[in-house]
Structure 1
Amino acid sequence: MGGGMVDPRAAAEPGLIYDMSLTDYIQYLCAMGYENSSLSHFIHDAQCPRTKPTILDINLPSITIPELENVTTVRRTVTNVGHPKSVYQVEVEPPLGTAVKVRPGVLVFGPGIRKLSFEIEVTATATEKTDAGYYFGSMTWRDGLHSVRIPIAVRIVTRWLFSTSP
């Protein structure tokens, strides 16, 4: 499962991008468990934040939740590289066994607004045991000209409680 087929013309004018800076890459390495001493081999004076970041919030153009038990919320930020006055509406295809909410559901860009953040809340709705595999869906921002899709991959984890009789 991936982001889809590449259209070179659309790639030249994507509309929105999931931008990452050096700080984002450092946070990614920190979330992966690298320590400051290891980071210094890559980037001089790089420091992990005091609170370990979650890999779920790294601004990647995909969402993977390896252990969805109840509800998980992830955050993403997009940068408008298209027309300065653009309005994008979200369209969601939730993975099987989940419900997905995106807040806000509309992104409004203007002359002074190039970057906007949003939250994706993924809720496990499966009522019976799953096969512990990944389920796939997607989230797409559309403005009538651009279609910016990212895949969503989720593995639902169900905790089974067993009662013992005295």
Structure 2
Amino acid sequence: MDPGLLYDLSMNDYLNFLCVSGYNQTLLKAFSGAHYRCPDIINIMDFNYPTMTIPKLYGSVSLTRRVKNVGSPGTYRASLRVSAGLSISVKPNVLKFDKIGEEKSYKLTVEVTSPGDDEAFGGITWSDGKHYVRSPIVVGGVRGVFHVLDKTQFIDLGKLHQQLNLEVRRKRRSKALSQIAFVGVLCQGGTVDCMK
């Protein structure tokens, strides 16, 4: 079997995945055999897995992947499959491998072009003419723009949300109106710590 390229995972990749999943130091040590300090910032989107899943997309997101050459030296070119509502780009779009075991990284950027609630699908294929290394891309919902608010705006938005919910309950309007989603609104600074 000669796949050409593969998405290799290191022990640190697995441990970082466990960190994001909420595993504590005791459990991490059981897997690694030693103390492992979780990085301060981990982007689960960069888990080096061939399938790329974006639960909900607001604006755009970039994912980084690493591929390893397990075949003969060669040059692989990227081709993209994109569904309606998305724009996908890759940099670099050509990967040149000079030897077996060589690794190269690429960055894939997925962007909303037409918001909607439906899932969207796409894919990237790396090929040297002999090998075709395919990776599907799944987006759980194409939502539009991601807004960044300062602390005051974020708190005001939370108060407005509470008022709307009370008003909806009083008037017995449709349940859908009471479920106003503020996912896609981020407090400047990146976390809900802005609420403190």
| TM-score, normalisation: structure 2 | 0.68
1:4 corresponds to which residue?
A: none
Bigger RCO (CA 8 Å, 6+ sep) = 1
1:114 partner amino acid: E
Q: CA deviation at 1:105?
A: 0.3
Secondary structure of the residue that 1:37 maps to in structure 2? Answer: helix
Secondary structure of the residue that 1:60 maps to in structure 2? Answer: coil
2:156 corresponds to which residue?
A: none
1:139 corresponds to which residue?
A: 124
Structure 2, gaps ≥5 residues long: 148-196
For residue 60 of structure 2, the aligned residue among 39, 62, 71 is 71
Q: CA deviation at 1:159?
A: 6.3
For residue 108 of structure 1, the aligned residue among 83, 96, 113 is 96
Moved >4 Å (runs of 4+): none
For residue 22 of structure 1, the aligned residue among 4, 11, 15 is 11
Secondary structure of the residue that 2:55 maps to in structure 1? Answer: strand
Secondary structure of the residue that 1:72 maps to in structure 2? Answer: strand
Greater percentage in helix: 2
CA–CA separation in structure 2 for the residues paired with 1:137 and 1:107:
20
1:93 corresponds to which residue?
A: 81
1:56 aligns with 2:42: no
- Tell me: CA distance 1:160–1:140, structure 2 relative to 1, closer, same or farther (3 Å): closer
CA–CA separation in structure 2 for the residues paired with 1:160 and 1:114:
37
- Tell me: CA distance 1:71–1:159, structure 2 relative to 1, closer, same or farther (3 Å): closer
Q: CA deviation at 1:35?
A: 2.7
Pair member with larger Rg:
2
Q: CA deviation at 1:47?
A: 1.6
Q: CA deviation at 1:33?
A: 2.4
| TM-score, normalisation: structure 1 | 0.80
- Tell me: CA distance 1:149–1:70, structure 2 relative to 1, closer, same or farther (3 Å): same
1:157 corresponds to which residue?
A: 143
1:28-56 Cα distance to aligned partner (Å, 9 max, x none):
11122223233123222242433131110
CA–CA separation in structure 1 for the residues paired with 2:5 and 2:100:
16
Secondary structure of the residue that 1:157 maps to in structure 2? Answer: strand
**Count of residues paired in the alignment:** 146
For residue 108 of structure 2, the aligned residue among 120, 127, 145 is 120
2:58 partner amino acid: E
Q: CA deviation at 1:112?
A: 8.2
1:164 corresponds to which residue?
A: none
1:62-112 Cα distance to aligned partner (Å, 9 max, x none):
11111210110000000001112x000000012331100100000011148
Q: CA deviation at 1:160?
A: 10
- Tell me: CA distance 1:123–1:158, structure 2 relative to 1, closer, same or farther (3 Å): closer
- Tell me: CA distance 1:81–1:113, structure 2 relative to 1, closer, same or farther (3 Å): closer
Q: CA deviation at 1:113?
A: 7.4
- Tell me: CA distance 1:42–1:138, structure 2 relative to 1, closer, same or farther (3 Å): same
